[in-house]
């Protein structure tokens, strides 16, 4: 049995989409802000000609224009060779964020120190979550109190940084990293670029949640490999 002072590593991944289905649903002032922002993005010719197209395809990655629809969490169970995985998914972002905070609170009762681990979480997932908590007027969980910390003071683990080995100009997707390490990829049924379409057009939130949990499994295996632990024989266990 682990000591209560032992940090609990939680694998984390979030799925985000545009806050509205279409740019026409935005308040005029917000719409103008998107049109201005999109003018600075590297977009396709179609998107350059149509801000509505760029909104559908790109706005979900910006916390000012998007929302969180799913948070995946995973715990590495070395004793039973399992990655225990759950997802928190809902159309209502406040419900997702509240449930996530309550889940973290429950885990904290056994493990006061929580360390998140994920791919590119220091530049995307964690800042995005913090910003959306602020937008929704909700209190941040203690483990997300990151404001004012220097990059090296943030305790959370980023598999992208582990793979960089000090080369901070280098970027690699989770899919390519997993394939490079001969590990199963999560991009067999869906990719990140398809989440918005599958949410707003297909209405497949359960499918997105499953994709998110697949990312958790892949990230856990990548973490084990990059920290020179054996990833052999681990199976996903959905809870």
Full-model pTM: 0.92
- 119 shares a domain with 151: yes
Question: In the prediction, which pLDDT does 3 show?
Answer: 45
CA–CA distance from 236 to each of 72, 84, 160, 191, 210 (Å)? Answer: 13, 6, 22, 19, 12
- 233 shares a domain with 143: yes
Question: In the prediction, which pLDDT does 2 show?
Answer: 44
Phi, psi of 83 (to 5 degrees): -105, 105
The domain in which residue 27 lies consists of 20-64
Task: Give the list of residues 6+ apart from residue 64 with CB closer than 8 angstroms, or none.
Answer: 33, 131, 135
Average pLDDT over residues 208-212: 95
Domain contains 3: no
- 30 shares a domain with 58: yes
- 183 shares a domain with 102: yes
pLDDT at 189 over 90: no
Burial of residue 239, with CB atoms counted within 10 A of its CB: 0-12 exposed, 13-18 middle, 19 or more buried: exposed
Q: Cβ–Cβ contacts within 10 Å for residue 86, how many? A: 16
Q: What's the total number of domains in the chain?
A: 2
- 77 shares a domain with 43: no
Task: Give the list of residues 6+ apart from residue 22 with CB closer than 8 angstroms, or none.
Answer: 52, 55, 56
């Amino acid at each position: 049995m682990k000591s209560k002072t032992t940090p609990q590593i939680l694998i984390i991944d979030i799925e985000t989409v545009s806050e509205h289905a279409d740019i026409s649903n935005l308040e005029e002032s917000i719409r103008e802000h998107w049109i201005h922002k999109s003018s600075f993005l590297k977009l396709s010719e179609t998107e350059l000609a149509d801000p509505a197209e760029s909104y559908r395809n790109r706005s979900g990655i910006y916390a000012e224009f998007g929302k969180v629809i799913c948070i995946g969490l995973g715990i590495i169970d070395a004793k039973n060779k399992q990655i225990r995985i759950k997802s928190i998914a809902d159309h209502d972002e406040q419900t997702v964020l509240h449930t996530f905070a309550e889940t973290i609170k429950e885990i904290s009762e056994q493990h006061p120190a929580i360390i998140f681990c994920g791919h590119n979480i220091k530049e995307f997932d964690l800042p995005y979550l913090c910003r959306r908590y602020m937008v929704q007027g909700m209190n941040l969980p203690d483990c997300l109190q990151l404001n004012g910390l220097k990059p090296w003071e943030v305790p959370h683990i980023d598999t992208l940084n582990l793979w960089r080995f000090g080369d901070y100009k280098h970027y690699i997707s989770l899919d390519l990293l997993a394939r490079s390490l001969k590990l199963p990829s999560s991009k067999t049924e869906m990719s990140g670029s398809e989440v918005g379409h599958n949410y707003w057009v297909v209405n497949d939130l359960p499918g997105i949640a499953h994709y998110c949990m697949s990312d958790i499994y892949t990230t856990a295996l990548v973490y084990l490999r990059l920290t020179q632990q054996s990833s052999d024989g681990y199976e996903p266990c959905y809870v």
